[in-house]
Amino acid sequence: MPKRPPKAEPERVVRRPKAERKALPPQLEAFAAGDPDAIWRRHEQRGRLDDPRPVALVPGVKNADARAVFEARAHRMKAALAAGDDVVLSNELAEARLVGLWRANSIVSFEALAESVLGIALDRAEALAKAGKARLGLGDKISDSHTAVWLRAEAALVVEGGGGRARVIDGILQIEMPVENAASALVAMGRRELPLVGQGKGRVVVDRPRGVPSMRTIEEAERRRKNET
């Protein structure tokens, strides 16, 4: 009878010191620590918002919110144009140029916004925007993250606050809203701004893709399924 080969010795598991172990990506660390939406977050790269959606009109802003802000601002610009109020129109055009408002309605440029949406010549729109920029003290550039904070705030006012507006002057976010709607508007604003907390600290947060449940919901559904079987 042939001899059986000797049993292989069980491999010893050696736990390396923490300093020698490969660290998990930060979003997985946050997920393991109890943050159910961390898995949908992306890290900051080159100081810009890394928005993984296949179609993001304005990085870091829900497309529906971006369009709502565009429509509200386009309405104000058309009303100012009809009333001959160049001060209001120039302020709106200056802000629109700063944040790239035309993107929110899939328009390709400031020129298209002026000529196709407002029906005014580009040179007039540029002159008005320049005057508004000087009046409001606006900078030449604004970061993706600050644009997202601004437009999310205004979307909350437009969509759930019964109207209102937001603007950024000298690095200060200013909001205007009907006082009777302030409570609901501020709650809506906080809900929209919460995913952006932590900007400048090594991560960029975007909304979970529409229709995708949170990881907590996915886990609970999986536990129920296992219990039923």
Instruction: Annotate 103-166 with DSSP letters as a single string.
Output: GGGT---HHHIIIIII---HHHHHHHHHHHHHHHT--S---HHHHHHHHHHHHHHHHHSSS-EE
| Residue 137 falls in which region: left (phi positive, over 0), alpha (psi -120 to 50) or beta | left
> Letter for the amino acid at 203?
R
Question: pLDDT-derived band of residue 133, with 50, 70 and 90 as boundaries?
Answer: very high
Question: When comparing pLDDT for 127 and 161, which is higher?
Answer: 127
Mean pLDDT of the residues in the chain? 80
Question: When comparing pLDDT for 18 and 42, which is higher?
Answer: 18
DSSP structural state of residue 10 = P
CA 114 to chain centre: 25
Cα–Cα distance, 190 to 94 (Å, whole number): 26
Cα–Cα distance, 2 to 83 (Å, whole number): 103
Tokens of residue 173, six digits = 């976010």
pLDDT > 70? residue 76? yes
* H-helix or E-strand spanning residue 176: strand 172-176
Mean pLDDT of 1-5: 64
Measured CA to CA in angstroms, residue 49 lies from 144, 166, 175, 182 at distances of 6, 21, 23, 29
pTM, 2 dp? 0.67
pLDDT (tens digit per residue) in 190-211: 888 887 776 555 444 555 555 5
Please tell me the predicted confidence (pLDDT) of residue 210: 52
